[in-house]
Structure 1
Amino acid sequence: MACLTSVCVYCGSSNQVDSSYLQLASDMGHAIAKRGIRLVYGGGNVGLMGASSRAALEAGGEVLGIMPHFLTKWEKPNPAIETRMVKTMHERKWGLFAESDAFIVLPGGIGTLEEVVETLSWQRLELHQKPVVLVGCTFWQPFVDLIEAIIAAKFTPAGFRHAFFCVETPTEALDHLQSVLSQRHWP
């Protein structure tokens, strides 16, 4: 039986978004820390990334950022958070993957979309069995609709519907991930 000790949070880095998204990210970081789970994220101190990581840190949680050097001109790391600097985006994504038991995907832009699609692609190729949960069903509905269209066109099997789960709240996200992981028996 596995337990959730470290979760990767994929999310947007824009400060220009509606404040409800920033609040969701703060609530997520706080909820992760309160459960004693380490938050692993892209290392930036901006947008939803900054909101979630600061909230986790302020709630007494452990936080690990992973960031390529070149991004520091746009996304300054928080000096209070342990940040592992890497050379490339590929190293960043591999680090996020390797350091996490599961993935939480908050609203975000093209970078967030790219991260979740790659994570789901790796799952589809049976490279991992780590659970993925999208938070904010209204925001993610167009993505869910696209997956349904891909399934309907037979580019992906119907079972792919179970590759991720969509919830509304941080509590639902963490409960779902813990439930999935507690049902797994590792060799």
Structure 2
Amino acid sequence: MPVMTDRPHMTTEEFEGLALMARSRMEGARLEFIDGKLRSRALPDGDHGAIIEWLTRICMQHRPELWLYAGQGIKADQYRAGRAIPDAALAPSGAFAGQGEWADPEPVLMAVEVTSWDSDTDRRDRIEKPRAYAATGIPIYLLIDRDTCQIVVHSEPDGQRYELVRTLPFGKDVVLPDPVNMTLPTEPLKDWVR
């Protein structure tokens, strides 16, 4: 019987090399290293892109000093030396300049995930990502869940999990707490679900 350990199956350096090789050989490949496990992600569809565009416009209107970085890799070192690629990360403009593919998460105010239609979205977006982002200290994790037509706002990370989780249906105004401090009118999200 194999012995199970709590250590990753590869090092962070091995993962970064594999992710670089995958991107250069397979167009659009997106690999992450979360909870010591290698994960692949489905390429976003057009509705996914429309949701990120919608959120970018709101952020620009309410917080022009910030930028919503789509697809910026971040180090989730506190969570088993992981590497995550949120669908978007809200941070001060210029926060990731000179940091390369895997940036320090310290300036990130909010990580955003939009559920995909792949079989791994439940574990990845609803279980692993909230733990990884909370362990990293990102103040807010915003999940736009197209499967359930809900917005889930995770806040108040304690280093292991988010202590406050608020779920609202698409169509309700969603208040994002400090340090983001903006309200999302979510009615348009109803147009981007199956």
Range class of TM-score, shorter chain: 0.3 to 0.5
TM-score (norm 2): 0.38
Structure (1/2) with the larger helix percentage: 1
TM-score (norm 1): 0.39
Structure (1/2) with the larger strand percentage: 2
